[in-house]
Amino acid sequence: MKNFALLVIVGWITVDSYAQSQRTTAESVTNAMRRATQYMLDSVSTNGAYARLYTADLSRRWHELEAYKSQVRIEEPGTLGMGNLYLDAYHTTGDEYYYQAAVKVAEALAWGQMDCGGWHYFIDFAGDRSLKAWYRTIGKHAWGFEEHYYYRGNATFDDEVTSGAARFLLRMYLEKLDPAFKPALDNAIAFILESQYPLGGWPQRYPLKDDYTSHYTFNDNVIAGNLEFLIDCYATLGGERFLDPIRRAMNFYLLTQQGDPQPGWAQQYDEKLQPASARNYEPAAIVTGQTYDNIRMLMEFYRYTGETRFLNRIPAAIAWLEQVRLPDSLTNGGKRTHPFFVEIGTNRPLWAHRSGNGVYDGKYWIDYNTDNLYGYGDNTVIGVNYLKDEYSALLALPIDRVTQDSPLKVGQVPLKDTGKHYFAKKAPASNGKVGEATIREIIKALDSQGRWLSKHEWISDPYTVDAASGQGSNTAMHSDPVSAEWILDPSDSDYISVAVYIKNMRSLLAYLVNRK
Amino acid sequence: MKYWRHILMGSFIWAVSQVTFADSVDLEVLTKRAMLKATKYMVEEVSVNGGYVKLYRPDFSRRWGELETFDTQIWVGGNYPFTPHMGDVFLDAYQATGDAYYYQAAEKVARALIWGQLESGGWDYIIDFAGHRSLQAWYNTIGKNAWGWFEYNNYYGTATQHSNTTAATRFLLRLYVEKRDRSLKPALDDAINFVLQSQFPAGGWSKRYPKKQQYQYNGLPDYTGFYNFHADVPRDNIELLIQCYVTLGEERFLEAINRGMNFFLVTQQGNGGWAKHYDMDLRPANGRPFEPAGVSPVITATHIRLLLRFYTYTGDRKFLTPIPAAIEFLERTRLPKEMTNGGKRTHAGVVEIGTEKPLWNHRRGTGVGDGNYWVSDDHEHVYAFGDNIKINIESLKNAYDAVSALSPEEATVDSPLKIEEFNGENPQRYGRYRENYRYYDLTPHDIGPDFYPGIRVPDEIEVKQIVGAQDELGRWLTTHAQISSPFSISETGEASNTALHSDPITADAILDESGQEYLDIRTYIRYMNLLINYIDRYNRERTNAVN
């Protein structure tokens, strides 16, 4: 008995001293993560959800624009960035604290889910009356932020707001298969299925309104985001019913590619499938950036299905991109390779411009002039060679290799790649290694309250009304009146940035993952 | 120093506890420990996301539901028992011991089932956590080539009613009423609505719903949309709806229950018997290739028992009126001695409409590629499905005499449909260990197959045997299982037969004689039920002693 006890103790000391040397850092990493998260959760979050940026004293906050205290932002790096990070932190550390933080995010999203099943850009916990007050003041006067000029009262797919929120709920549900998350998830899925046009595309917003937001929209991952979400559903929820909408969405890329001699894509299409304009600085045009994205998507569809019909017209699209490449004289000293907008019928570059100071006198126009450009798509760089290489590489692969990772392929799937593991594989908690020195810096940068403060953030001025004219002030984020280039806060003011928190946390997670 | 003391103390307590248990621990503690150990192994090592199949190699290298199955799959139904039935055991164990571990195990079962619930609200046989793409792969290989397992030869993707949708729904109902956890309610509501919606106006149910008319065999129509008595579908659904009525208390269930019971009246044939399948004109119809249209003595015998039960539910003597003709039909179709296979059967599986001649099933071949089924007069070499049926007509007569002698008031004393004050402690807690069977039991103990011990309480010797038979991991391993060969494709491109090993003619099971051990959930369920029954009696005796 005595000997036995001694043996155990010796063994224990050996293990412990071995661990001691490593644990110092691992513990300090997990401690830092907990302290930083606790501050975000207890002091920063609104009902478990987040805006994008806060002043250090939490007196002001921003989502896409300045926000009310009752408002949180959905898209990354707002609430969804936080929720996804929490789940990744839970996977890496096994610490239930992060799961509970993710539960709070899910509960906030479920609160903010609209009756239709989708989400607006942001959630206002003070409800409709507060949202309307915001739109009449800050939203309406945010020059250049046209999607916020007025309140439409419907859900948006812009920037994957709805598909992102739905995907987060899907991840939450898969984590423990807790049916508490299922009704909200089911509603979101039903909404995305219902809002798909029969031809396979989606509008930017739904239910439909009588404006550009009802156009078929490729811009900002509206169609791609919804399609990807449905593929996630097929892979993780397994229902056959997702296949038809997925196929229709993929086919939509084929039927929107323009005929010769301009075999590219527009960002929006009207109900007759003609290229359409959207915001004031987005003319109906063939768009090089969208064409690049859609070529990559078609190659992805080939990897999903092994069907060569998705490849057929890629060479024509690539050739068109080569054709509209800018002459050296127009590349702004090598800062761009292509115009963003190309005129239908002529292949001439179209450029956006603006003048003015705010919504009252501001003007946008499109012309052929490359001087004083408005900074939307002005410096477009298209890697045509990358497309060519990818395309040739894909053609050279035998078909079973092409589709080997396809989530749509009929075949057995290892159990370890199903459910929540699907997302861990698809989007690992961290990529790459982070050095010991960086980790020490990150931990050191955490202040006594558990904050990573940052400076020189992108902010806006508070909304005011000019007594003389009765006009509201420009509430847009600070930017150059002509080029709209960002102007960051030059002062020494401290901010709490959700993006900074997420970046640091991801570095710490990467460190933990690589230690294992 | 602190840790050092901890370890010393820990070792000390461990050593002492071993001695104590070895000497004087009472059987109740040992039993509960064995139950928990067995259950932890099932939940933590065997289950996939909380769900189960029927049979496993101990190293999990192969596993079987009704057929061999992928490791991403769990089974909901088919012939007992599968995932919902494991959930029932967990809930029984929870109610008997109060140990929250069992509730959590049951919760995991519910989560697996809810993940696999179809859009319609029902369930198919298999839940595949790798989804439709993997399920397709299974149907394309194992399912398609399982000779004699017709329901798996084609993929439908619809819900089936074959002790799976009913069992899953009943289990969700039980779990919901246990703590009224509202997160379970949407799935339960969807499931109940599925059962209600899938009922035909005439009161019966089909094997699959929604109807998907697609697969034909030998020119016979797809039977899966027909009215179906096979696998006790209407009985199970009626009982389920009664359980809903009792525990959820909603009037809306009554109409469906009544239509369900009346369906038995309208389907009796002029000769007094019932068929297994009926087409949409309520004429006897074919089922699978080895189920020709005809009148079925065994279905008829089952229905006699059910009609007696319906009388005890309703007090309505109209449910008794079909029985004398049904008994006469059974008397008339009793096989002559030379056809009884040496006394192994009293009736044929099915008799011809009109002539009442036995329709004997036969098959030949080696697999789905060359296999053939046919019906003939030859009562030898009979295909085992529906073979060797023994019907005890005397006991049916006695039951009829006893029940029909009761007045409606006497008959309905224990009826769950009776309008009266509820005298139990909690109408939602219908565990089999609550109340006294007066009200409805949510576990199917009276209808279970052989491995299900029902309410039998084992004596201490048997309990000790069961506990002692458990291995160090908490398993009860068995040998001589009926397994199948792995799916393979020959050099000439022919797919192998993936059916469970059986005689090519009679389809009698051929067991694995190699001595290979298996983990069979039927063993777990049987032993757990016996131990639960023992613990339950122990609890009750203790309660009585205190009182």
Query: What's the confidence (pLDDT) of residue A15?
Result: 42
Return the residue matching tokens 């279905």.
Answer: B299
Using a CB–CB cutoff of 8 Å, tell me whether A245 touches chain B. no
Are B114 and A177 a contacting pair at CB < 8 A?
yes
Say how far apart CA B446 and CA B451 lie, in whole Å: 12
Task: Provide the residue count of chain B.
Answer: 547
Which chain A residue has the Cα nearest residue B128? Answer: A238
pLDDT value at position B186? 97
The SS3 of residue A472 is strand
Q: How far apart are CA A115 and CA A125, in angstroms?
A: 15
* Partner-chain contact B132 A180, CB within 8 Å: no
**Which A residues, 137 through 176, put their C-beta within 8 Å of a C-beta on chain B?**
176
CB contact under 8 Å between B112 and A234, yes or no, is no
**pLDDT for residue A107:** 98
Q: Do B11 and A5 touch (CB under 8 A)?
A: yes
Distance in angstroms (rounded) separating the CA atoms of residues A390 and A388: 5
Chain A CB contacts of B133 under 8 Å are: 234-235, 238, 407-411, 413
State how far residue B421 is from chain A, nearest Cα, in angstroms.
Answer: 35
Pairs of residues, one from chain A and one from chain B, whose beta carbons lie less than 8 Å apart: 92
Q: CA nearest A169: which of A113, A228, A238, A235?
A: A113
Which residues does B contribute to its contact with A (CB < 8 Å)? 3-4, 7-8, 11, 15, 48-50, 70-72, 108, 110-112, 114-115, 118-119, 128-138, 140, 157, 183-184, 186-187
Cβ contact A268:A218 at 8 Å: yes
Alpha helix positions (H), B25-164: 27-41, 83-97, 100-116, 132-138
pTM of the predicted protein model: 0.91
Alpha-carbon gap: A2 to the closest alpha carbon of chain B (Å): 9
Nearest Cα to Cα of residue B122 among B210, B53, B183, B181: B210
Residues 6+ apart with CB under 8 A from B225: B206, B207, B208, B211, B212, B213, B280
Instruction: Judge contact between B212 and B235, C-beta under 8 A.
Output: no
**Residue B425, pLDDT score:** 65
Does B129 sit within 8 Å of A419, measured CB to CB? yes
Residue pair B417/B66 in contact by the 8 Å Cβ criterion: no
The nearest CA of chain A is from the CA of B308 a distance in Å of 40
Angle between helices A498-515 and A79-93 (to 10 degrees): 20
Write the CA distances from B139 to B133, B145, B487, integer angstroms: 10, 8, 11
* 8 A C-beta contact, residue A438 and residue A510: no
CA distance A308 to chain B (A): 20
Residue B474's pLDDT band (cuts 50, 70, 90): very high
> Cβ(B309)–Cβ(B375) under 8 Å?
no
Q: What is the pLDDT of residues B236-294, one digit of tens each?
A: 899 899 989 988 989 999 999 999 999 999 999 999 999 999 999 999 999 988 899 99
**Longest Cα pair distance anywhere in chain B, in angstroms?**
91
Q: Nearest by CB to A8, which of B7, B49, B130? A: B7
CB contact under 8 A, A412 and B137: yes
Is the Cβ pair A8, B112 closer than 8 Å?
Answer: no
Q: Chain B residues with CB inside 8 Å of A412's CB?
A: 70, 72, 130, 134, 137-138
- In the structure encoding, which two tokens stand for residue B494, read together? 């022919």
Half-sphere exposure of A458 (CA within 13 A, CB side): 16
Looking at the complex, report in whole angstroms how far the Cα of residue B181 sits from the nearest Cα belonging to chain A: 10
pLDDT tens digits, residue range B397-453? 999 999 999 999 999 987 888 888 776 666 665 544 433 443 455 554 444 556 677
Q: How many CB atoms lie within 10 A of CB B445?
A: 18
Distances (CA, A) of B81 to A457, B57, B157: 62, 17, 21
Q: Provide the ipTM.
A: 0.89
Over range B62-87, report the average pLDDT. 93
B508 membership: H or E segment, kind and range = none
Q: Rounded to the nearest 5°, which phi and psi values hold at B413?
A: -55, -45
Assess contact for B360 and B136: CB atoms under 8 A. no
For B16-26, what is the mean pLDDT? 46
Rounded Cα distance, B169 and B428, in Å: 15
Neighboring chain B residues of A12 at a CB cutoff of 8 Å: 3, 7
Nearest to A212 by CA among A222, A203, A199, A224: A203
Nearest to B71 among A407, A410, A415 (CB): A415
Give B493-547 pLDDT, tens digit per residue. 999 999 999 999 999 999 999 999 999 999 999 999 999 989 988 777 777 776 5
B49/A177 touch (CB, cutoff 8 Å), yes or no = yes
CB neighbourhood size of B419 (10 A)? 6
Mutate to test the interface with A, among B12, B133, B135, B138 (most CBs of A within 10 A): B133
**A5 → closest Cβ in B7, B48, B72:** B7
* A179 to B136: CB separation less than 8 angstroms, yes or no: no
Distance from CA of A191 to the nearest CA of B (A): 15
Helix (H) or strand (E) holding B400, with range, is helix B393-404
In three-state secondary structure terms, A217 is strand
| DSSP H/E element including B118 | none
- Give the other-Cβ count within 10 Å of A2's Cβ: 7
- Distances from the Cα of A498 to the Cα of A40, A81, A451, B275, B336, angstroms: 9, 8, 11, 69, 85
Contact A178 B3 (CB under 8 A): no
Q: Measured on CA atoms in the order A199, A203, A206, A208, is the torsion positive or negative?
A: negative
Is B106 in a helix, a strand, or coil? helix
Q: Of A122, A94, A96, whose CA–CA distance to A108 is shortest? A: A122
CA of B379 to nearest chain A CA: how many angstroms apart? 43
A304 contacts in chain B (CB < 8 Å) = none
Distance from C-alpha of B521 to C-alpha of B69, rounded to nearest angstrom: 15
Nearest by CB: A237 against B70, B131, B187 = B131
Which residues make Cβ contacts (< 8 Å) with residue B174, sequence separation at least 6? B87, B88, B91, B430, B431, B442, B443
Shortest CA distance from B11: residue in chain A: A5
Give the residue with greater pLDDT, B351 vs A516.
B351
Please report, for chain B, how many H helices and E strands are present, in that order. Answer: 15, 12
Furthest-apart CA atoms within chain A: distance in Å: 93
Query: Nearest-CA distance from A245 to chain B in Å?
Result: 15
B187 CA: distance to closest CA in chain A (Å): 8
Put simply, the chain A residues between 177 and 196 with a CB less than 8 A from any chain B CB are: 177-180, 182-183
Interface touch B131/A9, C-beta < 8 Å:
no
B506's enclosing H/E stretch is none
Q: How far is CA B169 from CA A144, A288, A400, B37, in A?
A: 55, 54, 41, 28
Contact indicator for B411, B315 with CB cutoff of 8 Å: yes
- Looking at residues B230-240, what average pLDDT do you find? 89
- Other CB atoms within a 10 A radius of the CB of residue B326 amount to 23
For residues A193 and A185, the answer to whether their CB atoms sit within 8 Å is no
Q: Locate the chain A residue with the closest alpha carbon to B182.
A: A180
Q: Which of A179, A239, A412 sits opposite B111 (nearest CB)?
A: A179
Chain A residues whose beta carbon lies within 8 Å of the beta carbon of residue B157: 240
Q: How many distinct helices (H) and strands (E) make up chain A? A: 15, 15
Q: Rounded CA gap, B299 and B227, in Å?
A: 14
- Confidence label for B477 from pLDDT (cuts 50, 70 and 90): very high
Note whether A112 contacts B: Cβ–Cβ < 8 A.
Answer: no
Give the model's pLDDT for residue A318: 98
- Token reading at A283: 């003319």
Pairing mode, if any, of strands A61-62 and A66-67?
Answer: antiparallel
Q: Copy the structure tokens of residue B517.
A: 């051990």
What tokens appear for A43 in the block?
């002091």
> Of B247, B152, B239, B226, whose CA–CA distance to B195 is shortest?
B239
- Provide the token pair at A33: 């993560």
In this prediction, residues B354-364 reach a mean pLDDT of 94
Asked if A9's CB is within 8 angstroms of B137's CB, the reply is: no
Q: B114-119: long-range contacts at Cβ-Cβ below 8 A with a sequence spacing of 24 or more? A: B114/A177, B114/A179, B114/A182, B114/B172, B114/B184, B114/B187, B115/A177, B115/A237, B115/B49, B116/B51, B116/B74, B116/B76, B117/B168, B117/B187, B117/B190, B117/B191, B118/A239, B118/B157, B118/B158, B118/B159, B119/A239, B119/A241
β-partners of residue B212 are: none
Residue type, B467: V
Going by DSSP bridges, is the β-strand pair B277-278/B227-228 parallel, antiparallel, or unpaired? Answer: antiparallel
pLDDT per 10-residue tile (average), chain A, 516 residues: 38 42 73 98 98 98 97 96 97 97 98 97 96 97 94 95 98 98 98 98 97 96 98 97 98 97 98 95 96 98 97 98 96 94 97 95 95 90 97 96 96 96 85 85 96 98 96 96 95 98 96 86
Name which of A12, A413, A417 to mutate to probe chain B: the one with the most chain B Cβ atoms within 10 A of its Cβ: A413
Q: Do B38 and B476 contact (CB within 8 A), yes or no? A: yes
Do residue A239 and residue B186 have CB atoms under 8 angstroms apart? no
Residue B215 has pLDDT above 90, yes or no: no
| Alpha-carbon dihedral angle through residues B162, B167, B173, B174, given to the nearest 10 degrees | 160
Q: Is A419 on the interface with B (CB under 8 A)?
A: yes
Contact assignment for A238 to B129 by CB distance below 8 Å: yes
pLDDT at residue B473 in the model: 98
Query: B276 is written with which tokens?
Result: 């297994």
- The H-assigned helical ranges of A357-488 are 384-396, 399-402, 420-426, 436-445
**CB B477, CB B517: distance < 8 Å:** yes
Q: Do B157 and A240 touch (CB under 8 A)?
A: yes
